[in-house]
A and B are shown apart, each in its own frame.
Chain A
């Protein structure tokens, strides 16, 4: 991919990220198949808090970054090698949130092309609109739990 000009010519960030130092609360996960990384996700389980009023400042698992390998993205490789990589990573973030006692709450800023994905995930993610504090004004999604005391 390198030099191809595609978005993912820097897929080797996988290697870089594995060598990078992480901050407290950062967790890095990968889905691998046949020894090859198919998708990568960075979570922040400590520093971010809920923004929706009814659950303001409760803890959540924030997905700092999520990406799938170029060969799993139809825009670059059609048909993709594997489908479901991104969805499984998000489901794992929810599972991690339950594990930490955060009631499955997650938060994330979706890239523009991925809005349809997060809206259809059936995880109770609420579209909170473009975040003016984000440099690219990405849309913020957060799990809305209505059954909290």
Chain B
């Protein structure tokens, strides 16, 4: 199932450049004491992840379904986010109990959750793809979860979020600017601080994964 990685990634990359890149990679690894993991925590959780990898909702089918029912309120980025969360919830429902911290618990139940998609339609979609993997109770949980996250998305669709907040650094200053994109953020800094003529480096951005995010800066990065 694994695929081969070509021994020579780029023929043109000369030995010196490769050596330099390797030194950079090692320096980066050393900065994290050799910890490089991403995606899923290691240990039994990742083994569970792989062992249940085949249990999934068909991504395109789910998004088409959401588009049909919610296309008048939400847009593609909202469907991406809803699809991702339903998929993660599904994983946590089918992964063995030892990996409960992956997030199998439902978000706190809200008393004011409106069903924006008929429960029967959701059930039909899930059953057609998951009936052999999930118990009736697990499917019910998934439906309940879906209603909750869809309701949350409808209350605050992505296109209504404020512009992201960019944190930029020059040689001597830190700038925080709210703008749709990085170019606009840099332009704002240069306009409002014309004395700033040096190169600006973006340290972090908030407000693209969720609205109203608090910015927390690691002092070691400043």
Q: CB within 8 Å of B: which residues of A? A: 7-10, 12-13, 16-24, 26-31, 42, 46-47, 49, 51-54, 56-57, 63-68, 72-75, 80, 83-92, 95, 108-111, 113-122, 126-136, 138, 140, 144, 146
Contacts and interface: CB of A to CB of B under 8 A. Distances in A.
B52 to A, nearest CB: 8
B113 interface: no
A67 B208 contact: no
Contacts of A88: 25
* A-B complex: 10 closest residue pairs judged by Cβ atoms: A135-B103, A87-B25, A86-B36, A54-B181, A65-B39, A113-B35, A13-B47, A117-B32, A21-B54, A116-B32
A39 B216 CA distance: 32
Contact of A128 (B27, B81, B209): B209
B135 interface: no
Given A10-B47, A20-B54, A29-B2, A114 B59 contact: no
Given A19-B1, A57-B76, A75-B34, 20 more contacts: A7-B42, A17-B50, A18-B2, A21-B54, A31-B5, A57-B77, A66-B37, A74-B33, A75-B35, A83-B25, A87-B24, A87-B29, A109-B38, A111-B38, A114-B32, A121-B28, A130-B213, A133-B81, A135-B103, A136-B103
A73 B180 contact: no
A65 B203 CA distance: 24
A83 B213 contact: no
Contacts of B215: 129
A87 B40 CA distance: 17
A87 B35 CA distance: 11
A122 B51 contact: no
Given A8-B42, A67-B46, A91-B9, A80 B34 contact: yes
Contacts of B163: 53
Interface residues of B, number: 67
Interface of B is mostly: mixed
Contacts of B9: 91-92, 95
Contact of B3 (A29, A63, A89, A113): A29
Contact of B205 (A52, A117, A119): A52
B24 to A, nearest CB: 6
A92 to B, nearest CB: 6
A20 B50 contact: yes
Contact of B38 (A12, A46, A110, A135): A110
Interface in B6-49: 9-10, 21-22, 24-44, 46-47, 49
A26 B204 CA distance: 29
Contacts of A80: 34
A128 B205 contact: yes
Q: Most B CB atoms within 10 A — which of A56, A113, A114?
A: A114
